[in-house]
Amino acid sequence: MKHGARWIGATALAGGLLAGAGAVGGGAQDAAPIRGFFAGRVAEERALEQRFRAIPEAARAEKSLRRLTSEPHMAGTEASHRVAEWLREQYASFGFDAAIVSYSAWMPQPREVQLELVAPEHKALATQEEPIASDKDTLTKGAVVGFNAYSPSADVTAAVVYVNYGMVEDYRQLDAMGVSVEGKIAIARYGRCYRGIKTKLAEEHKAAGLIIYSDPQDDGYAAGDVYPDGPWRPMSAIQRGSVEYTEIYPGDPLTPGVAATPDARRLAPADAADVAHIPTMPINAQDADAILRSLGGPHVPKGWQGALPFTYHVGAGAARVHMKLEMDYQQREIYDVIARLAGADDDEWVVMGNHHDAWVYGAADPNSGTAVMLETAQALGELARGGWRPRRTIVMCHWDGEEFGLIGSTEWVEANRAELQAKAVAYINTDVGVNGPNFNAGATPSLKELVREAAREVQDPRGGRSVYDTWRERASHAKDEQSGTARADARVENTGEVALAALGAGSDFCPFFDHAGIASLDMGFGGDYGVYHSLYDDFNWMKKFGDPTFEYHAALARVIGTIALRLDEADVLPFDYAAYAAEIAAAAQSLAERAAQKGGDATSLEPVTKEAAQLSAAAWRARDALAEGRGAALAPEKQKQMNRALASVEQALLSPEGLAGRPWFKHTIYAPGSYAGYAAGVMPGVSEALDRRDSATLAREAAALAAALTRAAARLDEIAQMAQP
Amino acid sequence: MKHGARWIGATALAGGLLAGAGAVGGGAQDAAPIRGFFAGRVAEERALEQRFRAIPEAARAEKSLRRLTSEPHMAGTEASHRVAEWLREQYASFGFDAAIVSYSAWMPQPREVQLELVAPEHKALATQEEPIASDKDTLTKGAVVGFNAYSPSADVTAAVVYVNYGMVEDYRQLDAMGVSVEGKIAIARYGRCYRGIKTKLAEEHKAAGLIIYSDPQDDGYAAGDVYPDGPWRPMSAIQRGSVEYTEIYPGDPLTPGVAATPDARRLAPADAADVAHIPTMPINAQDADAILRSLGGPHVPKGWQGALPFTYHVGAGAARVHMKLEMDYQQREIYDVIARLAGADDDEWVVMGNHHDAWVYGAADPNSGTAVMLETAQALGELARGGWRPRRTIVMCHWDGEEFGLIGSTEWVEANRAELQAKAVAYINTDVGVNGPNFNAGATPSLKELVREAAREVQDPRGGRSVYDTWRERASHAKDEQSGTARADARVENTGEVALAALGAGSDFCPFFDHAGIASLDMGFGGDYGVYHSLYDDFNWMKKFGDPTFEYHAALARVIGTIALRLDEADVLPFDYAAYAAEIAAAAQSLAERAAQKGGDATSLEPVTKEAAQLSAAAWRARDALAEGRGAALAPEKQKQMNRALASVEQALLSPEGLAGRPWFKHTIYAPGSYAGYAAGVMPGVSEALDRRDSATLAREAAALAAALTRAAARLDEIAQMAQP
């Protein structure tokens, strides 16, 4: 760090709070500025990044993935423990200080899963995934049968009602048709929302049980060729997955808010608010064919017909199914791997994470991300061996139990919350690192521009252009969201830049961001991917369809590493709070309009609108203060203090009480929607109270939100003060 | 007709050239005005209409339909002759002067239709429609096999390429993928355009043949329950139909522009420009399943996947089919029925028409319309027996050979063109009179308001409201066009009134309107209808799904009869040329914008825009002249002259030379689109020259169009003059 270096003024284009190299173009130009770096430090950073980006290797990522997916390794099994041990060894060999941290969580495994059609004719269902001769991994006996984690055990026989995607509007349509699921088994198709929401809504509508199936329209033959001829879901493939009500709280159901250590105080299972009360199981399309074909009742509404070859009816009618689930709930050990590369300043941490547990082999989900993390770590290790010392400590985490409900990350964040809030600069997540060629990212608004800038520095494997330019080109031809994945497809903002999604839920950034207020990022390369949570998400699938050359794995390691190095080495952390405040102001405006439309009490929202405006003003004051270059003249201790303050603005947006009905969720601006699941709810407390027309809660949530905005504005004003020499 | 009666001034709401009773509301109010009637004549007309509307009977329409569909009665067969004879007898019994008029047209019948998959495996196709035990009419041996009329005979074996709907944009996509149909057999799905366009485009792209199939997505199981469980198309049902290039000219291919009388001068078949040169055949969904499933090549583009249960590919690949068609082309007799109820003035005719020939039984298409016409005729006959004498002659026509290419109507119009142009006031068509509860209509713009007004007078069978109010209610929730039918669904205009479609092609108004310039109307009640042109469009289908009580048949007879009586009895014919001129001006404006976008020679269009404005001005002058009530003071002979002039404005819009490349089409404002088929092309000569970027033709067509507008404006100015007392 060089004192007296000139601080690079903010450019109009980048629009950032801090100085911007927004328009570097496609390549690394030695002279071009980098957001957050003093002018005299840019060449050094650029050289470091270039050395870094030369190290990740596609062939090595392929080897890692082959190793990681050598056996099914579901959380709570010894296989998952073996993966954790291997990862720990890898990090140790890279020169990291690596350890396994384990927790004991209340987790189910299926002992018996039975489903049969008992009328109008008898037919045994719950068929499992068929082996494919050309892919020997599919011959395994080790894959867990299709089940939904956190379903209760049950034995129920009932008539069946088809509920489309099983979302709020679907039940509204059924009501209009006079069809009820009460006492019936609901059958919903996968897609459009988190599966746990489907269970929650079926439970709220008094269904006796829920079957969730994969319709070929959404990710099977109607989307494209099915595995092994193409990347889409074959008729026998089952989407496993958790139905934990993670929108209430994720992690171990028995220890909300505290780490699941051996001596933690635990709830009785019956008191866990995030566990379903109705049996839920996933089935494949061929079983669904047998059930749906036999439903009577009215013809489905417009948009409910899927791609199975008959006319869909909502039921009920003569069809009856018998569902028997016996779940083996136990305290089970999970194994997080936490690896540190100590920085010159160990009081500031750059945290990266990916989960390692998989439903079966998990080649795309999650081990493509694991292989990418290993390439990143290998490269950072090599730099360190070459004499580089990180400015800030780098913490690389591999979570266990993510598939059951973000358990490994949640428990670790709960265990280390105070320290993380004091030290973590940001959290960079990757889950499905690669399943195709399309880069996409979600982020806290303050770090969106950082992602764009890093993507400009890395060449896309498909051509001579950067990852950013390829991403932007695709975004300019935006399409619908790909079903089955949480990530919205790319689109372009008014500024002409690619829009990054808000962070919803569905991966391990959730405890960092929603619970602890650590600024977070999530990214990966997506594509045609129909084998999600099935046996077929294996190495051979990746080699044939996801990333045959593994060049996208290497490219993602370069993007993530570039982001990490910038966060690690920045003189002034590159948070853009003017952009964040602008998104908050727009959200406040749109809420106020919705409130007006609903004819509700719009006055409750006035403090929000007002404080959002104050926040914008404060963000611009801080930006101006820093843009004038005063930051560079500060003493190191003062600079460190300012960086600490910059990283902590996100925490100012937490509400100490949390959201109404789900106090674990502290963030006032973002949370998973209570009835959407993956997609982010914006200003969720206020927004949902408005939807429910609950004016008391609305007033309370609006006050909490306004207070959060006030705190964030105050923090920004402190930063502007600190920038004074 | 009473002299000196006060002429009802035009209301702002009705917006008509002539006085309007636009806002009568739902019922017949004795005192309310009627467009086109002097005040003193309104009560008499209203009483007449009420007597008329009391006569049509659902039960009798049902009996007629049962009789009309007692055997398959394709044009060119003795069964069709028998239907014509029976119709003639019915009209005679109603008191009409009824005759059969026959023509001799060059028409095919299938002698042999073979289709087989020869690779990758052998499978016999061209499967025919399966009998249904609960519907004895389907047990017939008399249904013609699935074939497309005016396909040549051929024997061809080739690889197969899937071309989606086989439209211009589909071939553009195939080009972009590097897939050619040259030398291949193209397979297209039915829908979105006239099937003859599919053949034309396949021929232009050098395909060796064309197969057209019914995809379950468009009118089969994915749309709803299939017959006999619902109204949609079963897997074995075949859509027969003509592929005559009727957009070049309809009718007998060997006698374009002249009647197909025994001594007419005939082209050699090889010189007929409206006949396909590549073999084309229709198949059912189950045959298509076998072919499409075996195609190789790339995965289909977005939107091409249908509802068959596998991933669609464009081909070619290993699949090969062998198609053998042996067509028996002969001069065949067709039998029109022309029935007249002489008016006080036989120099003015109100013409109505419907075809009687069917591909098989034709319960909906066309005999629901035939049964409706019989109810209308029966009622008019009863009024006449009760002492009423029509003011103008009523001519009711039942056409033969419509299904092969509008042969009966085209030949009759060609035979009587001069007399029709001198005498016909308007032509009212109905084809598929009823296949559901949703009223819809198309019309020349000058008569749109007349249709709305008549629809206000008739009660809808579903409730207490009028046909118009029910129609408008549905239009306010406009949906997509139902595939498989020519009629666009209802929508509402800016005025709040239901929009009526422009007249395209696909039924017998075409020769009247497009060739002879007779103002035309087309209407019926539509609904869920998947059995179009199949064996299953039979009496039992209608009784179960189309119109179980036949009340819609009776309602349509009331609407059509009300329109006919208003045209017949009007003091001043109720044409609204201000509305017509407004539509023309809007079309001219939109063409000018398209020309500007294409960067073409916009100056060619200046005369069109200018003359369109002049036409509007003239229409308003005429409207004002008539609105001042002077018309009523005219001597009867002058009034008759003015009515003649009013009816002839449409003819002023004909161009003597006809459209570029298809001189039979004379109308400068409307024609079937050269590559759309059913849908109307607006200002087709200019519009298509613009699409082709053919500036010489553009200039010629623009001049012809401008001249037509000038003539129409002059005619309207004559009318304004005539209105002077």
Asked if B316 and B204 sit in the same domain, the reply is yes
Q: Are B391 and B566 contacting, i.e. CB atoms less than 8 angstroms apart?
A: no
Check whether A316 has a pLDDT greater than 50: yes
Residue located via tokens 């010629």: B700
From chain A, the residues in CB contact with B232 under 8 A are 311
Asked if B292 and B170 sit in the same domain, the reply is yes
pLDDT score recorded for residue A601: 66
pTM to 2 decimal places: 0.90
pLDDT score recorded for residue A28: 46
pLDDT score recorded for residue B629: 62
Percent of chain A with pLDDT over 90: 84
From chain B, the residues in CB contact with A216 under 8 A are 309
Please spell the DSSP secondary structure of A571-635, one letter per residue.
SS----HHHHHHHHHHHHHHHHHHHHHTT--GGGGHHHHHHHHHHHHHHHHHHHHHHTTGGGGS-
User: Over the stretch B83-111, which tens digit does the pLDDT of each residue have?
Assistant: 999 999 999 999 999 999 999 999 999 99
User: Over the stretch A470-513, which tens digit does the pLDDT of each residue have?
Assistant: 999 998 876 433 333 333 456 777 778 899 999 977 899 999 99
Q: Cα distance from B299 to chain A (closest Cα, Å)?
A: 7
Inter-chain touch B309–A305, beta carbons under 8 Å: no
pLDDT score recorded for residue B476: 83
Q: Are B362 and B531 contacting, i.e. CB atoms less than 8 angstroms apart?
A: no
User: Of B226, B232, B307, which has the smallest distance from its Cβ to A307's Cβ?
Assistant: B307
Distance between the two ends of chain B, CA-based, in angstroms?
Answer: 17
Asked if B555 and B595 sit in the same domain, the reply is no
Q: Cα distance from B472 to chain A (closest Cα, Å)?
A: 21
Q: Are B575 and B569 contacting, i.e. CB atoms less than 8 angstroms apart?
A: no
Looking at residue B169, which CATH number applies to its domain? 3.50.30.30
Of A9, A28, A50, which residue constitutes the final position of a domain? Answer: A50
User: Over the stretch A113-142, which tens digit does the pLDDT of each residue have?
Assistant: 999 999 999 999 999 999 999 999 999 999
pLDDT band at B6 (very low <50, low <70, confident <90, very high): very low
Active site residue B402: yes
pLDDT score recorded for residue A189: 98
pLDDT score recorded for residue A17: 37
Looking at residue B690, which CATH number applies to its domain? 1.20.930.40
pLDDT band at B626 (very low <50, low <70, confident <90, very high): confident
pLDDT band at B678 (very low <50, low <70, confident <90, very high): low
| Catalytic annotation, pick one of A49, A203, A402, A497 | A402
Percent of chain B with pLDDT over 70: 92
Find the closest chain B residue to A223 by CA distance: B311
Amino acid identity at B336: D
Asked if A22 and A134 sit in the same domain, the reply is no
Query: Does residue B590 lie within any of the structural domains?
Result: yes
Inter-chain touch A230–B305, beta carbons under 8 Å: no
Q: Are B525 and B437 contacting, i.e. CB atoms less than 8 angstroms apart?
A: yes
Q: Are B353 and B398 contacting, i.e. CB atoms less than 8 angstroms apart?
A: yes
Of B288, B309, B331, which residue constitutes the final position of a domain? Answer: B331
Find the closest chain B residue to A308 by CA distance: B309
Q: Domain of A217?
A: 105-331
Question: Among B82, B155, B140, B145, which Cα is nearest to B108's?
Answer: B145
User: Over the stretch B536-547, which tens digit does the pLDDT of each residue have?
Assistant: 999 999 999 999
pLDDT score recorded for residue A482: 36
Q: CA-to-CA distance for A576 and A304, rounded, in angstroms?
A: 43
Looking at residue B436, which CATH number applies to its domain? 3.40.630.10
Q: Are B552 and B524 contacting, i.e. CB atoms less than 8 angstroms apart?
A: no
User: Of B216, B225, B299, which has the smallest distance from its Cβ to A224's Cβ?
Assistant: B299
Pick the range with the lowest mean pLDDT from A596-605, B290-299, B441-450: A596-605
Structure tokens at B267: 């082209």
Residue A152's φ and ψ, nearest 5 degrees, are -75, 165
pLDDT score recorded for residue A597: 83
Inter-chain touch B222–A299, beta carbons under 8 Å: no
Count of domains observed in chain B: 3
Query: Does residue B503 lie within any of the structural domains?
Result: yes
pLDDT band at B675 (very low <50, low <70, confident <90, very high): confident
pLDDT band at B635 (very low <50, low <70, confident <90, very high): confident
| Catalytic annotation, pick one of B348, B402, B403, B650 | B402
Asked if B589 and B683 sit in the same domain, the reply is yes
pLDDT score recorded for residue A490: 65
Asked if B66 and B131 sit in the same domain, the reply is no
Asked if A548 and A697 sit in the same domain, the reply is no
Interface of chain B against chain A, CB under 8 Å? 216, 221-222, 224-226, 229-230, 232, 299, 305, 307-311
pLDDT score recorded for residue A1: 27
From chain A, the residues in CB contact with B230 under 8 A are 299, 311
User: Over the stretch B129-175, which tens digit does the pLDDT of each residue have?
Assistant: 999 999 999 999 999 999 999 999 999 999 999 999 999 999 999 99
**Average pLDDT value for residue range A408-435:** 98
pLDDT band at A596 (very low <50, low <70, confident <90, very high): confident
Query: Does residue B34 lie within any of the structural domains?
Result: no
pLDDT score recorded for residue A595: 87
Query: Does residue B95 lie within any of the structural domains?
Result: yes
Asked if B77 and B109 sit in the same domain, the reply is no
SS3 labels along B589-620:
HHHHHHHHHCCCCHHHHHHHHHHHHHHHHHHH
From chain B, the residues in CB contact with A299 under 8 A are 224-225, 230
Inter-chain touch A225–B299, beta carbons under 8 Å: yes
Q: Cα distance from A299 to chain B (closest Cα, Å)?
A: 7
Q: CA-to-CA distance for A175 and A173, rounded, in angstroms?
A: 5
Inter-chain touch B309–A307, beta carbons under 8 Å: yes
pLDDT band at A22 (very low <50, low <70, confident <90, very high): very low
Q: Are A35 and A449 contacting, i.e. CB atoms less than 8 angstroms apart?
A: yes
Inter-chain touch A221–B299, beta carbons under 8 Å: no
Q: Cα distance from A532 to chain B (closest Cα, Å)?
A: 19
Question: Among A281, A267, A258, A255, which Cα is nearest to A150's?
Answer: A281
Residues in chain B: 725
Query: Does residue B462 lie within any of the structural domains?
Result: yes
Asked if B89 and B119 sit in the same domain, the reply is no
pLDDT band at A193 (very low <50, low <70, confident <90, very high): very high
From chain A, the residues in CB contact with B224 under 8 A are 299, 311
Inter-chain touch B224–A299, beta carbons under 8 Å: yes
**Average pLDDT value for residue range B481-498:** 59
Q: CA-to-CA distance for B242 and B257, rounded, in angstroms?
A: 20
**Average pLDDT value for residue range B523-530:** 97
Check whether A303 has a pLDDT greater than 80: yes
Inter-chain touch B221–A310, beta carbons under 8 Å: yes
pLDDT band at A548 (very low <50, low <70, confident <90, very high): very high
User: Over the stretch B557-608, which tens digit does the pLDDT of each residue have?
Assistant: 999 999 999 999 999 999 999 999 999 999 999 999 888 887 766 788 999 9
User: Over the stretch A255-300, which tens digit does the pLDDT of each residue have?
Assistant: 999 999 999 999 999 999 999 999 999 999 999 999 999 999 999 9
Query: Does residue B31 lie within any of the structural domains?
Result: no
Asked if A314 and A377 sit in the same domain, the reply is no
Structure tokens at A473: 């080109």
User: Over the stretch A599-648, which tens digit does the pLDDT of each residue have?
Assistant: 766 788 999 999 999 999 999 999 998 876 655 677 888 899 999 999 99
Structure tokens at B359: 């591909």
From chain A, the residues in CB contact with B308 under 8 A are 309
Query: Does residue B20 lie within any of the structural domains?
Result: no
Q: Which of A692-706, B10-24, B366-380 has the highest mean pLDDT?
A: B366-380
Query: Does residue B192 lie within any of the structural domains?
Result: yes
From chain A, the residues in CB contact with B307 under 8 A are 307, 309
**Average pLDDT value for residue range B486-503:** 74
Q: Are B524 and B434 contacting, i.e. CB atoms less than 8 angstroms apart?
A: yes
Q: Cα distance from A310 to chain B (closest Cα, Å)?
A: 5
pLDDT score recorded for residue B9: 29
From chain B, the residues in CB contact with A229 under 8 A are 311
Asked if A493 and A517 sit in the same domain, the reply is yes
ipTM of the complex: 0.88
Interface of chain A against chain B, CB under 8 Å? 216, 221-226, 229-230, 232, 299, 305, 307-311
Check whether B10 has a pLDDT greater than 80: no
User: Over the stretch A39-98, which tens digit does the pLDDT of each residue have?
Assistant: 899 999 999 999 999 999 999 999 999 999 999 999 999 999 999 999 999 999 999 999
User: Over the stretch A652-669, which tens digit does the pLDDT of each residue have?
Assistant: 999 999 999 999 999 999
Find the closest chain A residue to B297 by CA distance: A225
Residue located via tokens 């709305």: B452
Query: Mean pLDDT, chain A, as a whole number?
Result: 92
**Average pLDDT value for residue range B640-645:** 94
pLDDT score recorded for residue A258: 98
Asked if B194 and B204 sit in the same domain, the reply is yes
Of A521, A539, A569, which residue constitutes the final position of a domain? Answer: A569
Check whether B676 has a pLDDT greater than 50: yes
